A = this chain, B = another copy of it.
Amino acid sequence: MSDQKAVGRPRSAEVDEKLKRAALKLVRERGYRDVSISALIAEAGVSRQSLYNRWHSKADLVLEALTDDTEGLVQLPDPARAGSAQAALRDFLHGIFRHLALDGTTLRSLIAAAQEDPAFREALRTRFVEPREEIVTALLARAQSAGELPAGRDIRMLSAFIHGAFWYRLLNGLPLDEDTARDIAAAIFAP
């Protein structure tokens, strides 16, 4: 890598980072709806153009900020460590639900924004939703191979049940807590 490239790249990456940090900070403080593009660029200390160079909209920026921030949660849990696939699913869900105390309202707003904007709906689904669904599907597939789930069970549909129950409770304003995580995992693995 040449010196020039080493100097050039971090410059733009730094601006992106500033915008993503500003986005998370402001949506957490004020709520997604009440954060304007002007407030975002003022908080980040960058130009409006540098936001639009990289993202189409506020929704796009907030989606990337949230996706990056929850990267650590998107890891296949280890059933051996948790004790069983059921316990691993419970712990995985509980980790996500704990994080929703911070960003659940933002996620609700992004899902709402996606309903009025087909391009953003596609972005939300492919960049955020599907990678998370894949984690759970992989966990269930492994559990099925290990005989913890009957061979005939439809793993893809069970994964949709799990994420569906999570969205359904989130969007209806119902609590998502440790009990919910335990009950979802128990219902999936019920004999």
Interface set of A (CB-CB < 8 Å, partner B):
33, 108-109, 111-116, 118, 121-122, 124-125, 129, 150, 152-154, 157-158, 160-169, 171-173, 183-184, 186-187, 190-191
**Judging by beta carbons under 8 Å apart, are A168 and B164 in contact?**
yes
**Judging by beta carbons under 8 Å apart, are B187 and A161 in contact?**
yes
**Judging by beta carbons under 8 Å apart, are A115 and B118 in contact?**
no
**Judging by beta carbons under 8 Å apart, are B173 and A122 in contact?**
yes
Q: Once the chains are docked, how many angstroms separate the CA of A171 from the CA of B153?
A: 25
Q: How many copies of this chain sit in the oligomeric assembly?
A: 2
Q: Is the interface of A mostly helix, strand, loop or mixed?
A: helix
Enumerate chain B residues within 8 angstroms of A150, measured Cβ to Cβ: 190-191
**Judging by beta carbons under 8 Å apart, are A173 and B121 in contact?**
yes
**Judging by beta carbons under 8 Å apart, are A190 and B121 in contact?**
no
Enumerate chain B residues within 8 angstroms of A160, measured Cβ to Cβ: 164-165, 168-169
**A120 shortest CB reach to chain B, Å:** 11
Q: Once the chains are docked, how many angstroms separate the CA of A162 from the CA of B165?
A: 8
